[in-house]
Amino acid sequence: MTDIQQTIELPQISASDINSYRECPRSFWFYVLMRAGALVDRNPDAALNRGSILHLVLQHAVRVGTDSGLPEIDTERATILFGQKQVDDPAVRTELLAAAQHTVHSDAYLRLLDCATIHREQQFHLRLDDTHYLKGFMDAVGYDVDGTAYILDYKSGTKVADDPETLRASYRDQADCYALVALSGGAPAAQICFIRPEVMVDSGRAAGGEAEPPRPQTFSFSYASGDVAALRERIRAVIGDMEQAATASTDQVDRKLCKNHCQVPARICAVKRAFKDERKQPAQQKQADRDPHPQPEPHEQPPDGGAGTCLPGRQPRPPGAGTP
């Protein structure tokens, strides 16, 4: 198969587009740019949908100013949202409520509540150059009295990262996008925090030596107004790469993704074809073990053109022997 040669202009790009591209340029090309691939899975238990429902609860079912002094999840409102989104499994409801509660009790959320102004589900559309725009939503944005932006992003998912530094690096593009939006809007500084309320990590010990309760895993990034030019350049560079996604290398793609999750057909991707061939090999080996001298198909020309070939149950005829 000849390789695909195609450049696609991307006038509007979001941080999640960049994430998809980073995961695999070829699947980004196929699913996002070609709009091909699997139908949307509406199952509320699917990871993406669980994430949306968690976001909805954090957006619409948080009570502040409670007797305890901490924000709390309004379970009645959350129950209505679960009903609307057809989250019927009590175990899933309990997990989502726990994740939401962990979020609103976290230091990251309390930092948000300390801001002078707070906006939720903040939409943005930022012009990068004559032909490119950055678009998207931020889960929650707060501004301190000095204008510093504090952006909190909720990350659903229960998978514990093998290497937290690699996971942190995977959030860098999204943090860059949010920071550029905030700084371009006039904020003197921007802090971006990603919180994973379904992954609780050890908090260490308090000064008195007693163990602190576990807390949600968080990853934070800080930027200053002087970073704007570098951020803009970095994001434009990655968009340039994305526009060439059809021919980008897949060498760096995590092979676990290829093997376990990718639905891209083998005719589109050589890596997928190689996996398919690997899977075929044990079956072919078994067949070879069962039948060490396979008979060539009738139409098949043997490698030596037929001379001296010994088929099972037949002997080569001596030179000069007539037709039986």
Integer Cα distance of 9 and 179 in angstroms:
24
Beta-bridged to residue 137, according to DSSP, are 123
Which of 37/157 has CB closer to ligand SF4? 37
Output the smallest distance, CB 250 to ligand SF4, in A: 4
Mask for 133-172, x = binds ligand SF4 (CB under 6 A): ----------------------------------------
Q: Is 258 in the site for ligand SF4 (CB under 6 A)?
A: yes
Integer Cα distance of 14 and 19 in angstroms:
9
Which of 47/257 has CB closer to ligand SF4? 257
**In this structure, what token pair is assigned to residue 88?**
């019927």
**In this structure, what token pair is assigned to residue 22?**
């980073």
Q: Phi/psi of residue 63, each to 5°?
A: -105, 130
Output the smallest distance, CB 163 to ligand SF4, in A: 19
Which of 21/221 has CB closer to ligand SF4? 21
Q: Is 102 in the site for ligand SF4 (CB under 6 A)?
A: no
Query: Judged by CB under 6 A, which of 13, 20, 27, 44 binds ligand SF4?
Result: 27
Which of 18, 282, 283 is closest to 176 using CA atoms? 18
Query: Judged by CB under 6 A, which of 107, 272, 299, 304 binds ligand SF4?
Result: 272
Output the smallest distance, CB 194 to ligand SF4, in A: 23
Which of 182/264 has CB closer to ligand SF4? 264
Query: Judged by CB under 6 A, which of 22, 26, 93, 102 binds ligand SF4?
Result: 26
Please report which residue ranges of the chain form alpha helices under DSSP H: 15-23, 25-27, 47-60, 75-84, 90-104, 107-113, 164-170, 172-184, 228-243, 255-260, 270-290
Diameter of the chain measured on Cα atoms: 108
Integer Cα distance of 177 and 232 in angstroms:
9
Could you count the other beta carbons within 10 Å of the beta carbon of residue 51?
A: 17
Which of 41/89 has CB closer to ligand SF4? 41
Which of 4/113 has CB closer to ligand SF4? 4
Residues in contact with ligand SF4 by CB under 6 A are 24, 26-27, 250, 253, 257-258, 262, 264, 269, 271-272
